[in-house]
Structure 1
């Protein structure tokens, strides 16, 4: 049995896209709504205050090692940390 070439033409616009194109555009009107108060943690994130546990230099070293094909996965360390995490989530010791 011979199979012909696969159709690679992208599908046309959806019904919603066609309606959006045909509809006249209206400028959105800003309507004041509920006031929002951010916590100090949220404000810190918005201002770019980094988490002290985040080490940008370490991330860059790992990214470089991955790009260069030198990154080694330590399966034993990952397994140990997964067990510790599961113990914390369950609130008890598994071993």
Structure 2
């Protein structure tokens, strides 16, 4: 798995109270208030992300095959491949930090 590039927005800390309950991102929340009485609005772009995440592109057949392999003890992990990816991702992050 490759981690995507970091953006400045991803590194900026959030301000104010942040709620993580799934219900707080429903489409009917535009203009609603959270438990502290602070007005909350969810942009159309944010709502479209929630809708599009429903069809997240997860290969259910592959998940079932991996789950079955784990259950019957035949799943193997290629530690070398994982180490290579971790090192590659670390090198990429470090090279971006130097720029």
TM-score with structure 2 setting the length:
0.47
Structure richer in strand, relative to its length: 2
TM-score with structure 1 setting the length:
0.49
User: Which of these two proteins has the greater Rg computed from alpha carbons?
Assistant: 1
Structure richer in helix, relative to its length: 2
